[in-house]
Amino acid sequence: GQNIDQPTEMTATEGAIVQINCTYQTSGFNGLFWYQQHAGEAPTFLSYNVLDGLEEKGRFSSFLSRSKGYSYLLLKELQMKDSASYLCAAVDSNYQLIWGAGTKLIIKP
């Protein structure tokens, strides 16, 4: 079956760096998305990776290794507003999104 694994919850300190990992098993692969979802709000797009390597976008970076079925989201210079859930989603061979359950990130002062 198809599956996305990511940690349920992580805690980090304001100003620090945190890495949220995601492993996926899908029938075929056509890219991986990261979304941010604040409590009570809709998910919003953060990044899309389809080739191996690191994509940097301001304080957020996303990495993909297709051979390992692995991605991570790196958040630098953490701010209190980064407290949210981070959802990993992979696109399978039928161009359907397989969603992870999300990682709740708690930022402490």
Residues near other proteins (CB under 8 A): 30-31, 33, 37, 41-45, 48, 50, 85, 87, 89, 91, 95-97, 99, 101-102, 104
CA distances from 88 to 4, 10, 15, 104, 109 (A): 8, 15, 23, 12, 26
SS3 82: helix
Work out how close the CB of 15 gets to other proteins at its nearest, in angstroms, rounded to a whole number. Answer: 27
User: Which is closer to other proteins, CB of 8 or CB of 109?
Assistant: 8
Given the complex with other proteins, which of 21 and 30 has the nearer CB atom? 30
Q: Please spell the DSSP secondary structure of 56-68, one letter per residue.
A: EETTEEEEEETTT
Q: Looking at beta carbons only, is 21 or 37 nearer to other proteins?
A: 37
